[in-house]
Every structure is written in C-alpha cells, then in structure tokens.
Amino acid sequence: MKTMHKHRLQTGNEIQTLKMDADGVVRQVAFSQQERLLYVWVEVPADSVIEDDRVARRFRVFHTGDGIPDHAVFCGTAVDMLRPESYHVYELSE
C-alpha cells in the first residue's frame, strides 16, 4: 500500500533538505497562489510514517534560465500565474 505526503519548499535557490522515505517518488509540484508557497507531493510506502525509516533528501528550486547541475534529477515545474515566475524543482543526487 502507498500514501501521499505533502512537503513545502521555499522558492529561493538554496538547497533544501526534506526527511522522507528513500523510495519516495515526487508525483506533483504546485504553487499555491493564495499562500504564495511551493509544494511537492511525494508517493511513499504506507509504512514509511515511522521517523526512523526516513532519510534526508536534498532538493533545489531553479528559475528559468538558471544553470542546472548534471547530477540534478527533474521532479516537476510549477508556475506562478500572477507573476512571470516558474519554479523548476530538482533533486540533487550528490
């Protein structure tokens, strides 16, 4: 069995660490206009709610035109519909 967990990311370009299951898969990236916040939804095994099973995974938000390292894995893009901003979320494997 699986479940979805929601995580918030900052829209800046700093590296952000999220604690989650090592096998979790990012399924959706979205920007909330009302909150002005960026979210990712991660599909994880249902038994991953135990804190001891979680690992630190590193993510970074890139803006259009930013240089993206070769070791970054694309997770998704979210668009701010009220401003000319797009947020491209990548997981950093190193």
State the Cα–Cα distance between residues 65 and 52, nearest whole angstrom: 38
Q: pLDDT tens-digit profile of 6-54?
A: 999 999 989 999 998 888 999 999 999 889 899 999 998 887 666 667 8
pTM: 0.89
CA distance readout (Å), 16 to 12, 29, 55, 65, 83:
10, 15, 13, 20, 23
Q: Could you tell me the residue ranges of all domains in the chain?
A: 2-92
